[in-house]
């Protein structure tokens, strides 16, 4: 699995990734490839480094050692224009981070207009199309504060998609939601998977990971402890740490 040479056909190729905060090494040498159209779910206990790993994929964190290559660009190369690479990576967080003083549609139009210099009419048309896709066309002119948590998160996904990213990263996108709203957000992510979006999804939703992932990575204490198909991970776990984790969460 952990070939040393960067896999040039991969959308994301991580080699020997280490990340320390001060003297605390939280990622201890990760090797990961994500192929075009692949859905990789990352599971593991709190504090195991899942969010830090995801944030290294668009260099929201400085990388202590190793390489992270996205669409052929090595993010650790100072000559690489990070903004260009980041425009191709949509990220959705646990907390939606919508701009409260803007309407839903303004939230979605902002980046395409500011960063891609799309004209407003074109950006609005695209934003409406995305709102229809996440089932919220009627909320275009609403303020985020008037939406439910599930609706806010669907807007956040639409906003990320507005830049036409080739890769989507989700960090516990449903963890802050009331249980009855989890399903509607997972459905949007499921639809993206079916459309062939390349995705890395950190999730506590084991049922979802089992159903949607092409591959599941179990992280523990800064390492990839085990990885494999959903079947291998959930029905045939090898490592005791994974077995313990699953016994707690399933
Ligand atoms: P997970 O997402 O799996 O819960 P994190 O990646 O958030 O784990 O955190 C892994 C470890 O890194 C934790 O010990 C956490 O305290 C530490 N950590 C995360 N972000 C920072 C930061 N900005 N500064 C210092 N330590 C951090
Ligand atoms: Mg986290």
Q: Tell me the C-alpha distance between 43 and 134, whole Å.
A: 25
For residue 52, give the ligand 1 atom closest to its CA: 6
Q: Please tell me the predicted confidence (pLDDT) of residue 42.
A: 98
Q: Phi and psi at residue 196, in whole multiples of 5°? A: 95, 15
Beta bridge partners of 43: 218
Q: Which domain holds residue 23?
A: 10-247
Does 63 fall in a domain? yes
Query: Does any domain span residue 1?
Result: no
Helix H or strand E segment including 149: helix 149-161
Pocket test of ligand 1: the residue of 20, 42, 51 to mutate, having most ligand atoms within 8 Å of its CB, is 51
Do the domain assignments include residue 5?
Answer: no
| Whole-Å CA distances, 80 to 35, 50, 76, 132, 242 | 21, 25, 8, 35, 37
What is the reported pTM? 0.96
Q: What is the pLDDT of residue 187?
A: 97
Let me know if residue 2 belongs to a domain.
no
Asked if residue 54 is part of any domain, the answer here is yes
Note the pLDDT of residue 7: 75
* pLDDT value, residue 2: 44
159 lies in some domain: yes
Determine if ligand 1 sits within 6 Å of the CB of residue 203. no
Residue 58's Cβ-count burial label (10 Å; 0-12, 13-18, 19+) is: buried
pLDDT at 4: 56
Q: Is residue 3 part of a domain?
A: no
Pairing of strands 198-202, 167-171: parallel
Exposure on the CB side of residue 121, measured as CA atoms within 13 A: 0
Q: How far is the CA of 47 from the centre of ligand 1 (A)?
A: 6
Q: Is the distance from CB of 24 to CB of 219 less than 8 angstroms?
A: no
Residue with tokens 């909320």: 139
**pLDDT truncated to tens, each residue of the chain (250 aa)?**
444 577 777 999 999 999 999 999 999 999 999 999 999 999 999 999 999 999 999 999 999 999 999 999 999 999 999 999 999 999 999 998 899 999 999 999 999 999 999 999 999 999 999 999 999 999 999 999 999 999 999 999 999 999 999 999 999 999 999 999 999 999 999 999 999 999 999 999 999 999 999 999 999 999 999 999 999 999 999 999 999 999 999 8
Q: What is the CATH number of the domain that holds 220?
A: 3.40.50.300
Domain count, the chain: 1
């Amino acid at each position: 699995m952990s070939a040393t040479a960067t896999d040039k056909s991969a959308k994301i190729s991580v080699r020997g990734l280490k990340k320390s905060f001060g003297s605390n090494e939280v990622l201890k040498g990760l090797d990961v490839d994500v192929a075009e159209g692949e859905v990789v779910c990352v599971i593991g206990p709190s504090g195991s480094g899942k969010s830090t790993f995801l944030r290294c994929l668009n260099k929201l964190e400085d990388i202590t050692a190793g390489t992270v290559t996205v669409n052929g660009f090595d993010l650790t190369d100072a000559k690489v224009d990070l903004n260009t690479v980041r425009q191709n990576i949509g990220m959705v967080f646990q907390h939606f981070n919508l701009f409260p003083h803007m309407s839903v549609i303004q939230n979605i139009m902002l980046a395409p207009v500011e960063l891609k210099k799309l004209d407003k009419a074109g950006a609005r048309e695209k934003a409406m199309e995305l709102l229809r896709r996440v089932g919220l066309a009627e909320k275009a002119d609403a303020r985020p504060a008037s939406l439910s948590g599930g609706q806010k998160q669907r807007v956040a996904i639409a906003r990320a998609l507005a830049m036409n990213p080739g890769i989507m990263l989700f960090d516990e996108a449903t963890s802050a939601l009331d249980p009855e709203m989890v399903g509607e957000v997972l459905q949007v992510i499921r639809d993206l998977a079916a459309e062939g979006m390349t995705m890395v999804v950190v999730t506590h939703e084991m049922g979802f990971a089992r159903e949607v992932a092409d591959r599941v990575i179990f992280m523990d204490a800064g390492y990839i402890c085990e990885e494999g198909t959903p079947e291998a991970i959930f029905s045939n776990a090898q490592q005791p740490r994974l077995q313990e984790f699953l016994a707690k969460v399933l």
